[in-house]
Structure 1
């Protein structure tokens, strides 16, 4: 019997006296002090580990032993622990998952279960599921195909990663990745089984699917399910929020700026699409015209109209009339963007020459190096501030520490999807959304940008500190839910009078109960 129940049940049914109540108050106080002491001790222990992966393993072990304490620890120390449980450390954890594996923490569905997916879902102990995050592990961060070495719901269709196929500790199917009909049939079975088992309104968040599947799945199932792709839409929403916030530092509107991307995959094209949507909404200019201010560079160079026939479908809207340009530095010098965004998954591609070129025609160049993990970042914070002579407005996908340049401390923001997807999902759930609409993503971006304070701007930040993530998430959820109601896509009626308060009341809080 746990401590809470021992205190609750006690040993007598008599009415407590004043003296008894005083004793119970002391027990409650002692229990609170005990858990504060426990939390402090755990943080002390975690800080002794020199290797981030060891901290990750210790935290995952704590989650198994005491989930409530795990979340309490994470909430109270979010800025320190988020880089451990999320990017960049989680990338290494996924790469080495077979070696550090001790017990399953998520749900695995493999090709071997084809025809039995509904049965597998019914074996999961929880019945009331509102959000499912699912991956097939083909595009984890900037690390590529990691097979089934990621969580929480993994559809194991094999892996094309030769290193994993030859790894004796790899826990997944040792076969080449399924494709074509075999793949699509398994995904169709999964999507149908989710609806059948959990209902029409369960939100399915696609995570880390490769380009060739991600766009197809999002397009196909957005018509029949409540679906959201974090890599395409979540990244876009958080980046747009940073850009909207950055306007307070550089001036003008989105329509006054010119954007150049290095990387034209899920993240790059997703961000570009949302920028164009917001620009069109603000200016009332057709979206086709707004796209002309957005240029993308892929592995073959600038995406231009002469390449249209050979381009993948999702790249075609960004093929503008221009002569071909092979190198990024030449594109920067000719296009002269005010905003440079990296989503290439290739590290150190924003070279000193590139950053200096951006600085030569921008008083405050906006440089976003979004690729994860840290090793894949297009440039570091120190490089961005040093090469721009302290003038860059910089944010990254992975966290970087403060940078000193000529006596001034620059603190860079992190364009982290964790700002968006918890609040976005919560907003859909509390409103009972029956579909996801792009205007909801715009609402999430606007809500996040509004949380950046003058104090944050004074430090050069275009994102609020993660310390306030629960407050931020509540505001995002409220804005998203409001948009759901406005679009007539809500099924939870009537609308709550105060959506922020309602969102906060629906959040999980890992509190220890007080028994009086």
Structure 2
């Protein structure tokens, strides 16, 4: 079989179409093994757009299952056979638009279907960026990007008894042309400018208005109507091999609340309690109140079991934007049986810990030398500050305590004593234990009660102030000045999103601290000029962590996520901050280096997986950084012939 696979490209042009199809059917599974890992540094965006699943049975394969693989001699022969003319121009992965050379146009029956000019991918990119920059409204830029990238499944090829049947989806002539490689090249080369368009903050508005701007389905939708047949639903997707699934139930999209089905693939649609959506004629989800309790968890359990049955235990399931109570429960339940990761919980913790570790070069000392004060210890705040106490993943405070314990070799209980929390009733202290929710109790230390944040700052004298309250302008001028009175260089992190809910702005932090604060936020802020010096605020953006973290899990064949992997990701990110960045007051590296950053994070995570005995991809690559880079998706056009 192996030798025939390599001879096929030489024979295929002279074979009949029937014979070519039969050979393709017989050897398809061998071809599937040739696929390399295709992971962009912003893999979340990629997965959201193209979450891939297999179709029914070994004898029924999609066109994508056979054609859409990295180039091999066999694949190239099939491309030449099946992708030509308008089919090639409309294909999700192989269209190059005006970048097709004259030779390629002639070989693939494109002559006359395109204007005569041949342009480079670089010129296409330049033209598109010019068009995108002409839009004044961020949501318009987002929609322009999605038009370029949106999933368009135009052709389904069914192999059956030596014959093929081409089924075009209804209305396909109305679908827009898509150029996947140009989309990702545009994003990679202009990531700092475009990330706020395709990710936070613009994606929040896109989610809120998703029903109105919906044009074509992207990803997979699983609702209560599919209960009992989720495995069959998974098999409806035309791709066979996947490494990552991003799944949401839409209840807490970006902190915007319950958006029901207006969210990210894979969508678990259990209804919505959002009355505005239920009354919106354009809403595309189930029109019923959100399911809870046993009905909800039974559906999620069936989904998780079906995923494992269909794709094995090495597929990564990333929980995205679940409400806190469900996020904790799911992470606790499936963390020991599946490869699962919650970006809102674990990703946030890891990226903030990285900023704190990096900031030590500016504020001095080690973690154990510092005192941390968190604002926000309610259920929302505990997403940021105390998640492992809920017996589900780790939050920032717990991850800081773990790293502190690792550095000092002290018990984690001792490390927790350096971390204080303030909730709506004031400082969390031991005298309040009887009335505290159980996930707050490990953070209740012996101290007199303090009623507000300002009093806590004055008495506790923290060196690091972290906001996760979800309430804007809670880091008042008095609070920032109190931090400055206690510290030469106070570290202030205002993490709440969106910008309107940030605990303070970058300008306020720098002005009120007289330029002494080291500032980072969850939302992006422009550079600030104060007394002739320009300060560049850092952004604790999860996009620093989850791409490299996911890639590290995939390239090592990891079967479970361990807390030490999160520490490894944080340490790798902190090491990417250069002296030039520090001179600007930055505690995070620039996003222009995201591919390099992600490769280093992936290597560190993979190394930890091998160290813990959780990696299954053997032998271990000698150079994990180079291996991670080699597994990343390259958006450069390929020559077809």
Task: Give TM-score, length-normalised by structure 1.
Answer: 0.93
- The aligned residue for residue 142 of structure 2 is 56
Contact 1:356 / 1:388 at 8 angstroms: preserved in 2? yes
Deviation at 1:158, TM superposition (A): 1.5
CA distance in structure 1 between the partners assigned to 2:236 and 2:464 by the alignment: 49
Matched position secondary structure for 2:327 = helix
- Work out whether 1:93 is the aligned partner of 2:206: yes
CA contact (8 A) 1:142 1:376 kept: no
Q: Would you say 1:36 and 2:132 are equivalent positions?
A: no
Secondary structure class of the residue paired with 2:483: helix
Residues 42-99 of structure 1 deviation map (CA, whole Å, 9 limit, x = unaligned): 1111111111011111111110222211111000000000011111111111111112
* d(CA) in 1 for partners of 2:310, 2:453: 49
> Residues of 1 paired with 2:450 and 2:326: CA distance?
29
1:456 equivalenced with 2:581 (yes/no)? yes
Equivalent residue for 1:416?
541
SS in 1 for 2:254: coil
- 1:422-441 Cα distance to aligned partner (Å, 9 max, x none): 10010011010111110011
Aligned with 2:147: secondary structure? helix
Q: State the distance in 2 between where 1:122 and 1:476 align.
A: 33
SS state at 1:489 partner: coil
Offset at residue 312 of structure 1 (A) = 3.4
SS in 1 for 2:629: helix
Offset at 1:10? 4.5
What's the offset of the Cα at 1:514? 3.5
TM-score of the pair, normalised by structure 2: 0.76
Q: Report the alpha carbon displacement of residue 156 of structure 1 after superposing the two structures with TM.
A: 1.1
Partner of 2:154: none
Going from structure 1 to structure 2, the CA distance change for 1:318 and 1:347 (only over 3 Å counts) comes to same
* One of 124, 130, 139 as aligned partner of 2:237: 124
CA distance in 2, matches of 1:155, 1:284: 43
The range that moved more, 463-472 or 140-149, is 140-149
Aligned pairs (5 A) from 1:332-411: 332-411=457-536
Q: In 2, distance between residues paired with 1:326 and 1:240? A: 27
Q: Which has the larger radius of gyration?
A: 2
Distance in 1 between residues matched to 2:623 and 2:285, nearest whole Å: 46
Deviation at 1:313, TM superposition (A): 3.4
3-state SS of 1:395 partner? strand
SS in 2 for 1:246: helix
- Which residue in 2 is equivalent to 1:23? none
Alpha-carbon separation, structure 2, partners of 1:358 and 1:187:
45
C-alpha distance in structure 1 between counterparts of 2:385 and 2:623, whole Å: 35
C-alpha deviation, 1:8, in angstroms: 4.2
Aligned residue in 1 for 2:253: 140
Structure 1 residue 498: Cα displacement: 0.5
Q: Counterpart in 2 of 1:182?
A: 295
**Counterparts of residues 53-92 of structure 1 (less than 5 Å):** 53-64=139-150, 65-92=178-205
Q: 2:335 aligns with which of 213, 219, 222?
A: 222
Does structure 2 conserve the Cα–Cα contact (< 8 Å) formed by 1:7 and 1:515? no
Structure 1 distance, partners of 2:509, 2:561, is: 36
Deviation, 1:372, is 1.5
Distance 2:549 2:191 in 1: 19
Q: In 2, distance between residues paired with 1:410 and 1:353?
A: 21
The 3 A distance-change label for structure 1 pair 217 and 6 is farther
Task: Give the RMSD, CA atoms, in angstroms.
Answer: 1.7
* Distance of 1:95 and 1:347 partners within structure 2: 21
Distance, in Å, in 1 between the alignment partners of 2:463 and 2:604 is 29
Given candidates 344, 348, 359, the residue that maps to 1:235 is 348
Aligned residues: 498
Note the residue ranges of structure 1 that are not aligned, 5 or more in a row. 13-29
C-alpha deviation, 1:370, in angstroms: 1.0
Please say if residues 222 and 436 of structure 1, whose CA atoms lie closer than 8 Å, have aligned partners that are also in contact.
yes
Deviations 1:464-509 (Å, cap 9, x if unpaired)? 0000000000000000000000111110011000000000011111
Is residue 317 from structure 1 mapped to residue 442 from structure 2 by the alignment? yes
How far residue 153 of structure 1 moved from its aligned partner, in angstroms, is 1.2
Q: Distance in 1 between matches of 2:320 and 2:440?
A: 20
Distance in structure 1 (CA, Å) of the matches to 2:552 and 2:562: 12
Q: Does 1:268 align with 2:385?
A: yes
Deviating 4+ runs (over 4 angstroms): 2-6, 8-12
Instruction: State the SS of the aligned residue for 1:496.
Output: coil
2:171 alignment partner in structure 1: none
Q: Which runs of 5+ in 2 are unaligned?
A: 1-84, 89-95, 109-116, 151-177, 387-394
1:183-223 Cα offsets, whole Å, 9 max, x none, are 11011001001101111110111111112111111111011
Encode CA deviations 1:136-176: one digit per residue, 9 max, x unaligned.
12122232222221112111112222222222222222222
Contact 1:403 1:409 (8 Å CA) reproduced: yes
For residues 284 and 349 of structure 2, the distance between their equivalents in structure 1, rounded to whole angstroms, comes to: 33
Partners of 2:522 and 2:285 in 1: CA distance? 28
